[in-house]
Amino acid sequence: MRLTRRNLLLGASGGAFMATMGPGLRVSMAADSKSDEILVVLFARGGADGLQLVAPADDAAYQQARPSIAVKVNGTSAGLPLANSLSGVDFFLNPDAPELNNLYSSGDLAFIHAAGVPTENRSHFKSMDMMERGLADNENNLTSGWLTRHLQTLSQDRPLLSTVSTASNNPISLLGYPQAVSIPDVKDFNVAGGDVNADVIAALNSGSSPYQQVAQQTLEAINTVQTKLEGLPETDNGDSLSENGPAYTNGPLSKALKNLATLIKMDVGLDVATVDHGGWDHHNNLVNEFRGQMTELSQSLGAFWEDVADYKDRISLVFMTEFGRRLNENASNGTDHGSGSVMMVLSGNANGGQMYGDWPGLKAANLDNGDLAVTTDYRQVIAEILAKRHNSPSLETVFPTVTYAPLGIVNGDDTLVASPTVATTTPVSAS
């Protein structure tokens, strides 16, 4: 464990409190001891085609189903062969993802194939909603986001900027967690006219309604971010941080990740961040559209990882999408909504350079109504990260219907959840 100012503060005053606290609260203090870990949830919206991203390119059934769009084994646009097969099948990374290939080779990146929602659902909006609330079909009893439930099982004594969305609004995974702050761009994060206006807005909104609370939080977050920004080193062109460093693109994912890297380097106590990357719904002209999309994804992640190199042992980034695409291409040279796709975990603690999951195969009998079957529940991947890296005290609160069965994607101590004795006797901390 790394010593931080927050831990020191807790340590200094913790002894007196400990004596008066119930066991539940003590668990949440323990949970907080890993609070310098940072979880980044990257959601690829639109249904990313996992078979195009990480392709079983030398499977004849794949080539046959996608005659005009398949990633090839040889030739000019051949896929990048990945070390370590899955279920005896070799995979090829999309040729436009050299940075991801490097991250995989270096051992920080792992792929989990045939992952997704365990029940078939081909609606963007229902699937995203389920994945962000942490559900499968017919489990509509949970109304909050899974990140919200995770955060609620931890200590509630959290810094203002501990949970950040880099989009302009908070995702459904943070539904019911109004403390989450959305900051798409740290540099523009200020009230026009400065304090003379901000102070009046604060006084006008000093009440306790939901809107007023968010208003107050907005102003506090602005204050913190602007104070921290002043303390950051300037680069040659006078702009703050990472302007001349890593090779980000001008695209939307790079913008979000660069912004996130700045927030991480501000050391504001960030421990959960969400990032959205839209534009994966390729019904049409897939090869051309995928090229731009892959380049943005790969180059942005490569640049981000270089940008936060000093922090990479504290970061776990998980990439997920609402569903994969149909195995057969359609007549518009695209693919329609399908089922299983690929997930990624990028972490200094990843057992990367390997493929995880259970490859179901592409024979007609193994498909789910024409789609790659889901053999790994997306929640299993997340649960492992929460258990091993975030010391989750109550996975059963986050994913009530999932039995913990880690795949070994990241290393870390999960005895708290893995041991049934502890799991059943530890009360859920306050939420």
Partner 1 sequence: MLTAEPSFERIALNRVTFGAREVDEAYVQAIGWDTYVSEQLNPPSGDDNGLAAHLASQTMKITYRGQQTAQGGWPDVDEDRPLNYLTADTETLFKIAIDAGKTVSFAEQARIQQEIAAASWIRAAHAEFQIREFMVDFWHNHFNIGRGDSQFGSATLPVYDREHIRPHALGNFREMLESNAKSTAMLLYLDNASSVAKLPNENYGRELLELHTLGEDAYLGYSDPADQGPVGLGSAIGVKSAGFSDLDVIAASQALSGWTVEFGQPNALGGGRAPITGNFFYNPLQHSSGAQKFMGVSLSGKTEPMAQGQAVLDIAAGHASTAEFVCGKLVRRIFGDTPPKAVHNRAVAAWKQHQDAPDQIKRVMETILLGGPEVGQNPTAKIRRPFERIIALFRTTDTVVNAHPWMAYLLEPLKDGLFTWPAPNGRPDINGYWFSTTANLTTWNLCLWLFYLKEISTSFANQTPLDIQDSPTQMVEFWLGRMIGYEPSEQVVNTLIDDAIGPAGIMTGLNWGSAADIESSFARLAALISTTEEFSFR
Q: Tokens for 386?
A: 């929460």
By DSSP bridging, strand 109-116 and strand 376-377 are: parallel
Q: Which stretch binds partner 1 (CB under 8 A): 64-72, 110-118, 203-211, 346-354?
A: 203-211
Q: Please say whether the beta carbons of 282 and 335 come within 8 A.
A: yes
What does each C-alpha distance from 338 to 56, 87, 234, 405 come to in angstroms?
Answer: 16, 22, 47, 25
Can you tell me the distance from the alpha carbon of 217 to that of 429, in angstroms, rounded to the nearest whole number? 25
As given in the structure block, the two tokens for residue 426 are 């530890």
374 is an interface residue for partner 1 by CB under 8 A:
no
CB 166 within 8 A of CB 184: yes
Report the C-alpha gap between 357 and 303 in whole angstroms.
27
Distance of alpha carbon 109 from alpha carbon 345, whole angstroms: 6
Q: Of 61, 73, 89, 214, which one interacts with partner 1 (CB under 8 A)?
A: 214
**Residue number with CB closer to partner 1 (347 or 375):** 375
**One character per residue 110-149, x = contact with partner 1 (rule: CB under 8 A):** ---------xxxxxxxx----------x------------
Which amino acid type is present at position 98?
Answer: P
Minimum CB separation from partner 1 for residue 93, in Å?
A: 27
Least separation, in Å, of the C-beta of 269 and partner 1?
A: 16
Q: In whole angstroms, how close is the CB of 113 to partner 1 at the nearest point?
A: 22
List the x/- string, 16-45, binding to partner 1 by CB under 8 A. Answer: -----------------------------x
Question: Of the listed pieces 67-75, 199-207, 254-262, 397-405, which binds partner 1 according to CB under 8 A?
Answer: 199-207
Handedness of CA 44, 95, 243, 317 (dihedral sign): positive
Is residue 72 involved in binding partner 1 (CB under 8 A)?
A: no
Q: How far apart are CA 45 and CA 275, in angstroms?
A: 10
How many residues line the site for partner 1 (CB under 8 A)? 56
**Binding stretches for partner 1 (CB under 8 A):** 45, 119-126, 137, 165, 168-170, 175, 178, 181-184, 189, 191-193, 196-197, 200-201, 203-207, 209-212, 214-215, 217-218, 221-222, 278-279, 281, 283-284, 328, 330-332, 334, 336-337, 369
